[in-house]
Chain A
Amino acid sequence: MELTATWYLVLGALVFSIGAVGLLIRRNPLVMFMCVELMLNAVNLTFVGIAWGLNDVGGQVAVFFVMVVAAAEVVIGLAIVVAIMRRRQGATADDLSVLRG
């Protein structure tokens, strides 16, 4: 049995699906962010796996930039969460149900 890039693709698909389901079923905005991080990591896994399979460093470059964007996204997202929580203690994502008129 030999390791191939396909193994990385399958693992990436599994982690991505777990992250997607978590994003949909959890209500705490912080945990939803963590699920987004899971999905980004799943994509990173597939990028690195394909870069290795095709012997091309381009995949690793993409992962590098994804990490930068993920860091920026977390900084902004958590700033928004802090700003909202300061106004409304214990706000959750399901509070959007009060938007129905």
Chain B
Amino acid sequence: MTLQVFVFLISALIVLSGALGVVLARHPVHSALFLIQTLFGVAVLFLVVEAHFLAAIQVIVYAGAIVILFLFVIMLLGVDRSDDLRVEPLVGQRPLAYVSGAAILGLMLAVINSVDGLTGRIAETAPINRPSAGTPDINILAETIFTDHVFTFEITGLLLTVAVVGAVVMARRIPGDLQPIPESALDSGVLADILSEGETPAADEGDAEEGGDS
């Protein structure tokens, strides 16, 4: 057993246990911590196959930014109610979820099993391992992104700008009263229940703050 296989097996174990933890943990904060475990395992797996730049980005962007954003929102909202997995409001949803998950896994494994290894062609234009050895993968990656994929790169820049503007717009508290709900909609029983629930925001916020402290 080579060192590569050894490292792969250890990290695969970390990734899988972390993934199961994300799904099964009662508390959202625990899910976020298990997510960090998974992301670090994936970063190690990137290192095994010589994607050094992506491993660094994985740790910086995912573990450093995205999970922190999750934890920040959990802290901000006080979403610390634990989620009971045994309650099932939509009847039959959970068995269907397991069946479809098993079906997805079975289909993918069947496809992987049906071909003997990779069927693609070995790259000629943008190989990772150049004959001129010593070139780090980050140079090759940058060369490819800024030549072949430069338009995609521009589009992702635009996408990030749109995302930032959208987040600011949505997080903004709109001054003044909300638009009135049409009279016809108010007659429906369910909507009236929701509205009466939402009419005590002060008490709810107080609860959330107390919960966040504990």
Q: Are A76 and B66 closer than 8 Å at their CB atoms?
A: no
Q: Are A48 and B54 closer than 8 Å at their CB atoms?
A: yes
Q: Are B141 and A5 closer than 8 Å at their CB atoms?
A: no
Which residues of A, 35-90, contact B by the 8 Å Cβ criterion?
A: 35, 37-38, 41, 44-45, 48-58, 60-61, 63-65, 67-76, 78-83, 85-90
Q: Are A63 and B170 closer than 8 Å at their CB atoms?
A: no
Partner among B57, B100, B194 whose Cβ is within 8 Å of the Cβ of A24: B100
Q: Are B94 and A25 closer than 8 Å at their CB atoms?
A: yes
Q: Are B15 and A15 closer than 8 Å at their CB atoms?
A: yes
Q: Are A71 and B61 closer than 8 Å at their CB atoms?
A: yes
In this complex, what residue of A is CB-closest to B160? Answer: A72
Q: Are A14 and B112 closer than 8 Å at their CB atoms?
A: no
How far does the alpha carbon of A68 sit from the alpha carbon of B57 in the complex, in Å? 10
Q: Are B164 and A13 closer than 8 Å at their CB atoms?
A: no
Given the complex, which residues of B lie within 8 Å of A58, measured CB to CB? 123, 126, 144
Q: Is the interface of B mostly helix, strand, loop or mixed?
A: helix
CB distance from B29 to the nearest CB of A (A): 10
In this complex, what residue of A is CB-closest to B79? Answer: A30
Interface residues as binary, A1-24 with B (CB distance below 8 Å gives 1, 0 otherwise): 111111111110111111111101
The contact sample of 7 A-B pairs, CB cut-off 8 A, is A7-B12, A18-B22, A21-B97, A24-B101, A57-B144, A69-B159, A97-B89
Closest 9 CB pairs of A and B: A56-B123, A24-B97, A22-B23, A21-B101, A52-B49, A72-B163, A17-B105, A13-B108, A89-B204
CB distance from B11 to the nearest CB of A (A): 9
Q: B186 interface residue, CB < 8 Å from A?
A: no
Given the complex, which residues of A lie within 8 Å of B12, measured CB to CB? 7, 11
Q: Are B141 and A60 closer than 8 Å at their CB atoms?
A: yes
